[in-house]
Structure 1
Amino acid sequence: MRSYGRAVAGSLGCAVICCFPVPLALLVGWSALRAGEDWAWIALALGGAGALAIPVLVLRFVRNSFPRITRRDRLKDSSVSYGDDTFVLWAPRPTPGPAQARVVRANVLDASLVHYSPDGEGTFTTYGGDLTPDEFTPKIRMRLRVYDDEGPGAFETTGEWRVPSLCLSAVTAGRLAVLVDPDRPADRAGPRAEGRRVTPLWPGSALLAGTRTCRVIDLDGRLTEVTGHPERLLRHLRISREAGGIGLDGDTLDLRRLDPAVAARYASVADHARATPEGRAPVTEPGEEARWLVDSLPGAAAGFGTVSRRWSRRGGVLVRGRFLQMTATHTFQDHGPVLDTVIRIRPADGTPPFDAARRLTVPMDYLAVLHRTREVVLYAAANGGSFVVDWARTNLLAGTTAATVIAPDGEEIPVGARPDVIWSLMNILASQGLSNPTAVLDLRKRSLSGAAGSVMELVRRECARHRLATGPHGAEDPADGSGGAGRATV
C-alpha cells in the first residue's frame, strides 16, 4: 500500500533531478555574490524562482498520478442528481459512416488483441482535439455475426478494428451496434461475407452491452428503464441516426424536449415495447471465454491487496464506492486513459454517502468488464478525511482475475464469482494488517496463519449458503450485472 507521503517524496526526488539547473543557479549566484559580481542577483533570482516552482510541480504531479480523494473533491454542483444505479458514459462520438448504411446488431463470436504498445513509458500524453488516437487505442481482431434484417439475413465477417478503451466492455459482453453498407452486398452463397463493409458504432455498442444506463421519459412524463433491452435500444439508435444524430449519450432521453415528429417515433417504439415486452438480455452473450480480452490488456495486477501496518494500527478501513460517470479526456497513459470520473463513496462509519469528482487513470482491463460492475475499492484514512483508489483490490472485486483460497490442508476453493466473499476476505486481512498482493490466498503461509480460522469459517458458511441458493445443479447467474466477472464460483 503506497502512502501519500511516499508518493510526495518520490515525486520530489524526480523533480529535483529534472530541475537540476535550479540548485546549480543558486550555487553560481552565491559564489558570484561572495566574489562581488554585479550579475549575482540574476542567478539568485532565477534559482529562487525555480526553487519555488519545484513544490508546485511536485504537488501537481502527485495530484495527477496518485488517486487520492479529499474533501476538496466532493461534488458541490447539486444541479446534477445521480441515482444509485446510474452510470453515464461520455464516450467519443460515433463514426458517421456511409449515409445509406443501416444500423444493425452484431454478436462477437470471438476476439483477440492484435496490437497495443504505446511508447509513453508510463508518463501522461496529451493530444489536442483527438479523443481516440491510434497510439492509445487497442486494435482487436473480431469475428462477428451480423443480423441484417433488411438485407440477405445474418452473415459472418472477420476484421480488425480500433476499439476505444471506454467501449471495450461491449466486446466482452458480445453485443455491438454496427453500420452495414448496402452498396457492398454479402455473398448469399456462403456463410461469411468478408467483403462487406461493417463499421462498429462504439458508443451505441456500449448501450447495447448494458454498460451505459438508459432511461426514457415519455410524452406523459413516465420514466421507463431501457438498460439491458438491446432490441429497443437498437431502434433508438436507428431513429437517432435518421433524425440527424441525436446524442443518446446521457442517461435519460426526455421525449418532451425533442422535435414532435422525432418524439412520436420514439413514442411508437415505447408503445411497441409495452405491447410486446422484451426480456432483459444476459450480462454477456454465450461464449465469453472466446472474447476474454482482459488478460491481454494492461492494468494493475489484481490481488487481495497490501496493507500498511501503520495504517491498520491507526484504524484505517476499506470502503466501497461506485462509478457514476466517466468522461473521456485528451490525456492517456500506457495502462489506461485519463478520465474525468464521478464516484459515490460510502464511508464505513455509516455516515451518508457522498459524490466526488476526480480525474483518474482507469486501467484498461477494468474497463473491459465495466458492463458487469462499476464497483471500486478505496482505503480510507482513520479520520475519514481522504480516500485512495486501490486498483489491485478493485480489479479483483471486478473479476479481472479469478480469486482462489487455498485451505490449510491444501484444498483449493475458487471464489472468483462471489464479490461479497472477496470483499469480506479483503476486510479480514486488512483488519489484521495482513498483505496478500496476489489473487491466491494461501492459508498455508505462516504470515497468514493468524487469519486462517476466520477465513475458513467465512468460506464454509458461504459455500453452504451458495449450495442452498443454487441447488445440487447449476450456478447463480449475476444477471443484474452487479457482481464480479470471475469465471469460477464458491
Structure 2
Amino acid sequence: MCSRTGVFVGNLVFTALCMSAFPFFLAVGGAAWHDGADWGWAVAGLGAVGTAVIPVMAATSTRQEFPRITRSDRAKSGVFYGDDTFVMWASRSEQGPAGARLVRADVLEASFVRYSPDDEARFTTHFGNYAPAEFMPEIRLRLRVYAAEGPERAAGRGAFEITGEWRVPPLCLSAITAGRLAVLVDPVAQVGPVGPEGPGTVTVLWQRSTLLAGTRTCRVIDLEGRRTEVTRRPGRQLEQMRISRAVGGVEMIGDTIDLRRLDAETAARYGALADRARVCPEDRAPVTEPGEEARLLVDQLPGEQAGFGAVGRRWSRRGGHLVRARFLEMRGTTTFQVHGPVLDTVLRIRPADGTPAFDAARRLTVPMDYLAVLHHTKEVVLCVSPNGRSYVVDWHRTSLLAGLTTARVIAQDGREFSLPARCEALWPLMNLLASHGLSNPAPVLDLRRRCMGAVAGAVMEVVRDRGLAPTDHRA
C-alpha cells in the first residue's frame, strides 16, 4: 500500500503538470509588472490564484483516493446503530409494470459477462439517483422464479426457470452470491403460452433483493413498541414488500419499519402479518443458498488483491498495529471509480487498547469483489498509526479476511495447510506478521523463506490451535 505522502506527491505532480500554465502566468505577469506594464498585475494575480489552487486540489484528491480515517471523521451526530446492524441506501430499482406480481427467485448460476466503463478516469461523477450502466457489471443469471407461494411452491408447481443478462448495481452484488432475489413477473407481457414455457417479463428489484438476501438488516416495531427481527425471513419480507408496493412505499428509518409512523390501514396490514408470523414462525434462511460456488463472481470482479499485507518496518517498530472495524452503513453516491463505487460509509472501530468503540463517517471507494460477499461479513481491517490518531483501510488484508481468496500456509517441512474462507486463524496470523515487521502481500505464507524463521514456530502454533490438518504430506 502506498503511503499518504506518496499519494499526495503523485497527485501534486500530476495537478501541477495539468495546471502548469498558472505558474507561467505568475512568472510572466510578475516580470511585466516589475517593468511597469499595467496589465502585469492582472496576469500575475490570475497566475497566483491558479498556483495556490494546485496544492489544494492535490490534497482534495488525496483525501478522496487515500482511505485514511482521522479524528475529524468521527461521527458527531445522527443515528447510532447496534453492533449487529447494517443499513444500505442503494440507487432506486426499476418499478416494473403496475400489474406485475412480486415473487422470489433463486439464483441457480451466475457468470460474468462484461464490465467496461467508458470513462477510464479515476473518479467520475454523475447526477441523479441512479447507477450509470457503464459502472454496473453485466451478469448472466439462471433463475428459478417461484410464481406461486405456500403449498404450491413446496410442491414445485408454478415455478419456472429463466436465463438472461442483467446490469447489477455494485452495492447489490451480494444478493446474487446469497442466491435470493426479489423479482416482478408481468403476466401480461407473455412471450409464449401461459405457464412455465411463457413466464412473461421478469424485472429484478435489486435494492429489495439485498433485504431478501439478508445483506441489509430488517426490523419491525409494532404499535405496542415491540421490536421484531425480520432479517433472513424471506417469506415475511416478501409480504412486507407487497404491502409496501400496494400502498406506494413504506419508509424504512435506518433498518427499521415503525408501524407507529404509518397510517392506520397500512399499520393494520403489517400487524396482521406479524400476528400470522407469531402463530406460524418462519425459520431463518441460511446465509447463502446451496450452490454458492456456481454464483461466486469475486475472481472476475474488480478489486484489490487479497493477501496477508505489506508492513512498513518503521511503522511496526514505532508501535503501528492492526484493528478490525465493521461497516454499519453504506450509502450510494453519484461518484464512481473503476474498481468500485464511491460510498458514504459509517464504520464502528474498536481500538486494540480496550478503549470504547467509536463510529467514523468516511467516503470510501469499496471494491466490487468485497461487495459481492457483503452478506457474509461487514468487517474491514485498519492499519493504525503509531500515535493512534489515524486509521488507514487496508483492502488487501480485508479481502483475505472476507474470504475472497483461499489462504495457505506452507510449513518449513513442506506441508501445506489450507485456511478455509473467513477462517479464525487469519486474524492472529496477520497481527503476528505485522508485529514483527514482515510483509507478505500474497495469500500464501511460505515459512521456508529465511525472513520467516523468527515467526515460523508461532505461525504453526496458531495453525495447530485451530485444528487445521495438512493438505499436502510431502516430506
Same fold judged by TM-score > 0.5? yes
Whole-angstrom CA distance in 2 between matches of 1:192 and 1:8: 59
Check the 8 A contact 1:88/1:249 in 2, yes or no: no
Are positions 1:386 and 2:385 aligned together? no
Are positions 1:259 and 2:263 aligned together? yes
> Which of 218, 225, 235 does residue 239 from structure 2 map onto?
235
- The aligned counterpart of 1:44 is 44
Whole-angstrom CA distance in 2 between matches of 1:129 and 1:116: 21
Letter in 1 for 2:181: L
Taking structure 2 as the reference length, the TM-score comes to: 0.94
Whole-angstrom CA distance in 2 between matches of 1:405 and 1:120: 40
Task: Give CA deviations for 1:384-403 in whole Å, capped at 9, x if unaligned.
Answer: 11101111111111111111
- The aligned counterpart of 1:61 is 61
The alpha carbon displacement at 1:291 in A equals 0.9
Letter in 2 for 1:11: N
Letter in 1 for 2:90: A
Which runs of 5 or more residues in structure 2 are unaligned?
Answer: 471-475
Deviates more, 1:85-94 or 1:101-110: 85-94
- The aligned counterpart of 1:172 is 177
- The aligned counterpart of 1:70 is 70
Matches of residues 83-482 of structure 1 in structure 2 within 5 Å? Answer: 83-149=82-148, 153-185=158-190, 193=198, 196-248=200-252, 250-463=254-467
Check the 8 A contact 1:29/1:43 in 2, yes or no: yes
The alpha carbon displacement at 1:187 in A equals 6.2
Residue correspondences, number: 464
Letter in 2 for 1:308: G
The alpha carbon displacement at 1:357 in A equals 0.5
Check the 8 A contact 2:91/2:129 in 1, yes or no: no
The alpha carbon displacement at 1:270 in A equals 1.0
Q: 1:7 to 1:280 in 2, by over 3 A?
A: same
SS of match in other structure, 2:273:
helix
Letter in 2 for 1:230: P
Whole-angstrom CA distance in 1 between matches of 2:111 and 2:230: 30
4+ runs deviating over 6 angstroms: 186-190
Task: Give CA deviations for 1:450-469 in whole Å, capped at 9, x if unaligned.
Answer: 221111111011116x99xx
Check the 8 A contact 1:314/1:382 in 2, yes or no: yes
Identity percentage of aligned residues? 62
The alpha carbon displacement at 1:218 in A equals 1.0
Whole-angstrom CA distance in 1 between matches of 2:99 and 2:301: 35
Whole-angstrom CA distance in 2 between matches of 1:219 and 1:109: 39
The alpha carbon displacement at 1:203 in A equals 1.2
The alpha carbon displacement at 1:33 in A equals 4.2
Taking structure 1 as the reference length, the TM-score comes to: 0.91
The alpha carbon displacement at 1:188 in A equals 7.4
Deviates more, 1:37-46 or 1:307-316: 37-46
- The aligned counterpart of 1:16 is 16
Letter in 1 for 2:5: G
Letter in 2 for 1:302: A
Whole-angstrom CA distance in 1 between matches of 2:392 and 2:17: 27
- The aligned counterpart of 2:32 is 32
Q: 1:127 to 1:362 in 2, by over 3 A?
A: same
Whole-angstrom CA distance in 1 between matches of 2:30 and 2:451: 54
SS of match in other structure, 1:41:
helix
